[in-house]
Each structure stands twice: as C-alpha cells, then as structure tokens.
Amino acid sequence: MPLEHSLQRLEWHLWHQWREQARQTEHLELTSSELQYLYTLLAWDETGLRLTELAECMQVSKASASSMTRKLEERGYLYREACPEDARATLLYPSDKTCQLKEKEPLIYQSAVTHFEQALSAEELAQLTQLLERACTGLDLGPLVPPSLTQRPYTST
C-alpha cells in the first residue's frame, strides 16, 4: 500500500476515534472548525488570548473569530476575562468543558498505539517509533505548537 494511503487510513482511524469520544461525551455537535478554535485556546489556556491574537492564529478575520467565539461561549466551551494589561481588551480561555474534551485525546492516540502493538513485533514497533519521530521532525504545524502529552490539559497538574 502506498504511504499516502496508509497515512489516510491512519488519519481516518484517528478521526473516527475522535468522533467516538465526542459521541460518548456529548460533544458530537462540534465541527472541525470549532475544534480548531478550541485547540488554539487550549494551547494558551494559562495566559488566554485576545480576539485579535486568536484570529491571527486561526488565519481568519476578526469578524469570523468574533462570531465563532460568541457561539462557543454561548455553548459553554470558553469564557472571557478582563485583560490585566489593557482595560479595553478581554482574554479568551477554554472552559472546563473544553478541558474535559481535551483530556480524552490520549485515549484516541492509545487506540492507534494498541493496534500497532498488535500488528507489529516489538522490534518493528521500535523502528516505527524511531522512523516517525525522524519523519515528523520539522513538520509545518502552523502557528501552534501542540502541547505535549505530559503537559496540561493532558495531566492533572
């Protein structure tokens, strides 16, 4: 099977696992775009983001970001606080509801790891791990760096 097809199958598997977790936790109503906004907020969950910064990260207009954040706030996925440095600005933060959704992510990746552990020998799994690490070095992730699995919101620290 060509590498492109394998990557597509893996992507579809992970997406299916995401939708399964969302269905079980009543977050199935979230669209891919809404999830991207929430993940952006989660990357700055400690400091919060101004609407302008969020729009820049998402590469959308401020009006689009404003509309989306209003919807997500109404549904309880984010909240706003006054910015301590600028009285005119507010900061956006992911709500506990969003952090709970994010805590499911390790389960999604674990399903793929479990499959690989069953499909490959220990030596092959070690090789796959090494090759993926090397292949993923330098990938363009856009303006965000995903949190590591040992950082909040993945751990309870």
Q: How many domains does the chain have?
A: 1
Burial of 35 (0-12, 13-18, 19+ CB in 10 A): middle
Looking at residue 152, its pLDDT comes to 41
Q: Is residue 101 part of a domain?
A: yes
The model carries a pTM of 0.66
More confident residue, 29 or 77: 77
Q: Is residue 119 part of a domain?
A: yes
Tokens standing for residue 150 = 């040992």
Q: Is residue 153 part of a domain?
A: no
Q: What is the mean pLDDT of the chain?
A: 82
What whole-number distance in Å separates Cα of residue 3 and Cα of residue 53? 36
Q: Is residue 148 part of a domain?
A: no
Q: Is residue 107 part of a domain?
A: yes
Q: Is residue 141 part of a domain?
A: no
* Residue 11 belongs to domain with CATH number: 1.10.10.10
Host domain of residue 131: 3-136
Q: Is residue 26 part of a domain?
A: yes
What sign has the CA pseudo-torsion 24, 30, 31, 34?
Answer: negative
Is pLDDT of 143 > 50?
A: yes
Contact criterion met (CB below 8 Å) for 14 and 108 = yes
> Quick one: what percent of the chain has pLDDT higher than 90?
35
Q: Is residue 156 part of a domain?
A: no
